[in-house]
């Protein structure tokens, strides 16, 4: 039985994680939220799962490194400084960071990478995502994950080849670009479509999240897997054995 602590325990994902931990037969070590001292939680946990805010990540990573405690990071909206801090922590402890803990989404990413690799850049790639009205970041972490998969398949840098926020007279679509569109409304847990379109045919790869439990169950599976790993930075592909 693995003792799993939750950072961001009062949020919707935190509540789903409590259920997923019990379903998997692990021990819920407790939770911490903004302003809480996480030292006690870390002391009671074999591994942490973090779905809190990016602002808290630096302090959380420092505390995990000090206690030699592995951590799964599912927080989205991360910037370059956060990824630098994750890389530094991963030199000392196991860290799994992902824009989406769903097993299905990560299998989709593997398919997107394969398709992008096998099809030429005369196939346009567009990523469309929709989430509930309360989501604060766009494109979603999952959309970025899928964009990175497409870019990796083509052997290009996503930052230099992405297009988003089209409005007005934008000119023709750049050859080889990876496009993003973000939709917000209602209570949608998460819909993602990757469209590969040529002049005469189109492939659409789609994932729809029915509820947040898929993310919670994937995060718990990732936490149990991470506990047996050496220091390093990992993704969900390792959990899936891809």
Residue 161's φ and ψ, nearest 5 degrees, are -130, 20
The verdict on whether 132 is a catalytic residue reads no
pLDDT at 226 over 90: yes
Name the catalytic one among 28, 131, 144, 192.
131
Tell me the CA distances in angstroms from 206 to 22, 72, 128, 143, one per residue in order: 30, 25, 10, 12
Token couple for 67: 């206690």
Whether the CB-CB separation of 5 and 44 falls below 8 Å is answered with yes
The verdict on whether 131 is a catalytic residue reads yes
The pLDDT mean for the chain works out to: 95
Token couple for 114: 């394969």
The half-sphere exposure of 219 on its side-chain side, counting CA atoms within 13 A, is 33
Look at residue 77 in the predicted model and tell me its pLDDT.
87
Cα separation, 184 vs 167, in Å, equals: 17
Token couple for 191: 């819909």
* pLDDT tens digits for range 149-194: 999 999 999 999 999 988 999 999 999 999 999 999 999 989 999 9
Residue 165's φ and ψ, nearest 5 degrees, are 60, 40
Look at residue 15 in the predicted model and tell me its pLDDT.
93
Residue 85 pLDDT grade (very low, low, confident, very high; cuts 50, 70, 90): very high
* pLDDT tens digits for range 40-52: 999 999 999 999 9
């Amino acid at each position: 039985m693995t003792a799993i602590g939750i950072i961001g325990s009062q949020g919707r994902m935190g509540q789903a994680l409590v259920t997923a931990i019990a379903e998997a037969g692990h021990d819920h070590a407790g939770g911490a939220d903004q302003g809480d001292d996480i030292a006690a939680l870390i002391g009671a946990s074999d591994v942490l799962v973090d779905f809190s805010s990016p602002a808290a990540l630096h302090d959380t990573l420092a505390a995990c490194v000090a206690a030699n405690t592995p951590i799964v990071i599912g927080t989205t909206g991360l910037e370059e400084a956060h990824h630098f801090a994750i890389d530094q922590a991963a030199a000392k402890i196991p860290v799994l960071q992902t824009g989406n803990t769903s097993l299905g989404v990560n299998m989709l990413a593997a398919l997107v990478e394969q398709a992008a690799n096998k099809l030429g850049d005369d196939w346009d790639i567009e990523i469309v995502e929709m989430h509930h009205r309360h989501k604060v970041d766009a494109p979603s972490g999952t959309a970025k994950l899928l964009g990175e998969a497409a870019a990796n398949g083509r052997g290009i840098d996503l930052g230099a080849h992405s297009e988003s926020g089209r409005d007005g007279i934008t000119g023709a679509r750049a050859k080889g670009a990876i496009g993003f569109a973000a939709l917000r409304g209602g209570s949608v847990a998460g819909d993602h479509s990757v469209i590969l379109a040529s002049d005469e045919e189109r492939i659409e790869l789609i994932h729809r999240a029915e509820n947040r439990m898929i993310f919670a169950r994937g995060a718990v599976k990732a936490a149990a897997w991470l506990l047996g790993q050496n220091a390093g930075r990992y993704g969900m592909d390792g959990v899936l054995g891809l």
